[in-house]
Structure formats: C-alpha cells, structure tokens
Amino acid sequence: MKPVKITDNIYWVGAVDWNLRNFHGYLTQRGSTYNAYLVIDDKITLIDTVKEGFTGEMLERIAGVIDPSKIDYIISNHSEMDHSGSLPEMLMRAPGAEIIASANGEKNLKEHFKWDCKVRAVKAGDTLNTGKYTFTFVPEPMVHWPDSMVTYLEAEKILFSNDAFGQHLATSERFDDEYSPDIIMEEARKYYANIVLPYSPQVQKALNDLSGLKIETIATSHGIIWRRNISRIIEAYKQWSSNEVQKKALIVYDTMWHSTEKMAETIAAAFSEQGYNYRILSLQQNHISDIMTELLEAEYICVGSPTLNNNMLPTVAAFLTYMRGLAPKGRKAMAFGSYGWGGQSVKQVHEILESCGYQMLESAGIKFRPDDEALKKIRESLIKAI
Amino acid sequence: MKKYVCSVCGYVYDPEKGIPEEGIAPGTAFEDLPDSFVCPVCGVGKEDFEPEA
C-alpha cells in the first residue's frame, strides 16, 4: 500500500477500513478510514495513528517514504483508540519518538495504556519546530472528547483537524475533488449528527478559534481530505452547530399490530397539511443513527410506541436513549401510541422527551385499534397545535 | 462568589450567571448547587470541579 502525497513533504499514511459497518452503534454503511499523516522535515513527525489491527497498513505506507524508526515526534490529537491504537507498536518501531498531546491527552494516554513513558503536554498556542516547519497546537476540549486537539501547519496552510469535519467513508480517493461532493457531505452530516452534535457550543468556539487561520487543506482523521470545498464544510458546521431547525417533522415509531403505525401516518398527514416536510421512520426499518441524521434540522420529533408489558418497546427506548445523549436542542415533541390496557408507554415517551427540554404537544394514546373518528380527532387537534 | 472549573473538560461554572436553562438561577454559588449537579458539557459530578485559579 502506497502513501498519498498531499504536498511535497506531507503524506497521508493512514488505513482504509472497507468492512467497518458498526462504529459503537453508528451504522457506517460506507466503511471508514483512519487517517495518519507523515511530515518530512529536519525532524520527522507523524500526526495521529490508526486503529489497532491496521498498524501494518500504516507502517507499509510510512516505509514508502522513510524508515519508520526515524520518526522523531508523534502528535496525538485525540486519544480514542481509532487514532491511538498503533501508538504502543509505533513506540517500539521508533523508540526515540516523543509523543505530543494536550494535557488531557497526556492523562488519557497514560491511563489507557498504563504507560509511564513521557508525553509532552501542550496548551493552546504552543508550537513545535521541526526545521522549516512550525506546528501550532489548539486544544479543542469536547470536540468531541476532553482531550481533543487540532494541529495547524501555517507554512502549508493545513489544519490537521482530527475528528472535526470527518466522515465515515472508505475510498481509495483521498481528496474532496476526487469524489462525489454530495456523498461526502451526506456522510459529514451523519458524522456530525452522531458524534459531534452534543458539543455544538464547543464547535462554535472552535470555529471561532480557527476563523483567523488561513486554511487551504483540512486533513481530517476520518474519510476524505478537504481542499476544494472547505467553505462548504465550514458553513455546514456553523449551521449544524447553531441548532437551527427547518419546517420538518420526524415521526419515529415502532408498532405491534399496525395501530401505532396508523397513528404515525395520521400525524404525518397533519404536518403535511401545515406545509411541513416530514419523514415517517419505523424503528424496525430505520437505523437510529440514520434517524439522527434526519433529526439534525427537524423542528418536530414525534415518537410513538405501543405498550408492551407495561413499557414502551425496547426499540423505542433504545432510540430515545441514543437521542437524549446526542442532545439536539430547542425542538418540539410529541408522544403517541396505542395500547390494550395500561397504556404506560405514551407517558414514558412523553417524560423522556420532556426531560430533553422540548416544548411538548399533547400526547395521543389510543386504546386498541384507532378508528377513523379517533384518527380524525388526533389530526384536527394537531393541525391546531402546529 | 468564586467560579469553578471542570477538571475534565474545562467548562467554567460562573455563579453570577448560573445555568438558567438547567434550572440553576443566576447568583447560585457553586457550594449551593445540589449534589446531583453535573457538568453541563461532559457530565461529571461536582467532585471533579476545582476553584478557578
């Protein structure tokens, strides 16, 4: 496997994970990459590593440029295993290499790997000179872990952004001008909705920190490297991090005997009547990570569950748990569902949505099968409420 | 009233401002926050906060 040249002295030396489909619960239908970068100067720098199991692929690419034992510095922008997994082996291959990380990164790496080796902790604005190049470090806590950091190389106007602006996308193409821009943006959007969303205020701070930098290349840690559509992805991050919503409603549900499903269709009809775009998303057919992507700019989130053994269905509970963690803000919400006797699910769903701080519409619970009259009532009261 | 910093993620609790969206009124001292208080950014508890240097 060959390295890919970014500029005369900088190479992509990462690995492509063609078979990845589940990134701790996030459905990665297009696989992913773990991007590591090699910077050749008087001193040799490796920026991030790859997931354990892909170390050989990375080493082969590094060896296509230099002998890996000659690496002087390894910048660890983020200690999560998909970027730090190869660090122990790299330290064996390049025993003289010094690891550089944020203060939280230093703590994480030492705790995670049970290391007593030296890690140089850097703070905002600290630099590393490697000859003609000077790297500047900018910790960006909680984008998306406490240790997250980006590294800027002014001489080449490259931002090594780690997870920010990334996408789970396995390709042989490395740059955004070589691949469908719409697919890249779709995967960047899914990545934001499923990884970055809870930290939107920190993203806004990060965008502000970076606004003064001249950036011609954003070298992410997953997926495609941005060099043509930089303004498009930065504008998208501004929009996604603002929690701005559009006239769009999601109706997310599961059903046992099609009654809650009928209610979902009726609710969708009411939104349609009021000029809303809508999505009817069965939890039997849609993955929760795809639903989150749809939720990114939806004004309304309506969640329906029948009652099973005095509880909501486990699929609905899983979705709500996932959504509550990703914490989209400022939405309007509604609970609905059919039931045979207790009907506890509707109240449970309502309480969870309310705990997210959402403005709640009146819940709709229907005993047994909803008849035309009951559905008409839901539709009419909803049209008034929207 | 002293500001407190989350030692995990760097969030700063400012008692002058409180966190109205979490139901914590402006003027609430860190010491008066309930034991159930968690960092609004990273979720760790009060014990992980330190007075701002």
Q: Tens digit of pLDDT for each residue in A234-243?
A: 999 999 999 9
In CATH, the number for domain A249-385 is: 3.40.50.360
Could you confirm whether A191 is annotated as catalytic? yes
Q: Which residues have a Cβ under 8 Å from the Cβ of A211 and sit 6 or more positions away?
A: none
Share of chain A above pLDDT 90, in %: 98
Share of chain A above pLDDT 70, in %: 100
The enclosing H or E element of A353 equals: helix A344-355
Q: What is the pLDDT of residue B53?
A: 86
Phi, psi at residue A155, to the nearest 5°? Answer: -60, -30
Query: Are B50 and B5 spatial neighbours (Cβ–Cβ below 8 Å)?
Result: yes
Compare CB distances from B41 to A104, A142, A357 and report the shortest one's residue.
Answer: A142
Q: Is the pLDDT of residue B22 over 90?
A: no
Q: What is the pLDDT of residue A195?
A: 97
Nearest-Cα distance to chain A for B11, in Å, is 9
The correct CATH number of A4-241 out of 3.60.15.10, 3.60.9.10, 3.40.630.10, 3.40.50.1860 is 3.60.15.10
At A110, is the pLDDT very low, low, confident or very high (cuts 50, 70, 90)? very high
> What are the CA-CA distances from residue A360 to residues A41, A303, A351, A355 (Å)?
58, 11, 10, 10
Extract the tokens encoding A73.
């510095």
CA distance A142 to A160: 16
CA distance A122 to A317: 41
CA distance A233 to A129: 29
Q: What is the pLDDT of residues A278-327, one digit of tens each?
A: 999 999 999 999 999 999 999 999 999 999 999 999 999 999 999 999 99
Q: What is the pLDDT of residue A17?
A: 98
Q: What is the pLDDT of residue A116?
A: 78
Which DSSP state fits A3?
-
Domain boundaries, chain A: 4-241, 249-385
Q: Is the pLDDT of residue A115 over 90?
A: no
CA distance A267 to A33: 40
Question: Is A199 in Cβ contact with B41 (below 8 Å)?
Answer: yes
- From the candidates A123, A142, A147, which should be mutated to test the interface with B, based on the most B CB atoms within 10 A? A142
Q: What is the pLDDT of residues A81-93, one digit of tens each?
A: 999 999 999 999 9
Q: Is the pLDDT of residue A118 over 90?
A: no
Query: Are B21 and B12 spatial neighbours (Cβ–Cβ below 8 Å)?
Result: no
CA distance A97 to A118: 10
Q: What is the pLDDT of residue A6?
A: 98
Q: What is the pLDDT of residue A36?
A: 98
Q: Is the pLDDT of residue A187 over 90?
A: yes
Q: Is the pLDDT of residue B18 over 90?
A: yes
* Of the candidates A20, A5, A10, A7, the residue with the CA atom closest to the CA atom of residue A223: A20
Q: Is the pLDDT of residue A64 over 90?
A: yes
- From the candidates B8, B19, B39, which should be mutated to test the interface with A, based on the most A CB atoms within 10 A? B8
Choose, from A11, A37, A78, A83, the residue flagged as catalytic: A78
Q: What is the pLDDT of residue A117?
A: 79
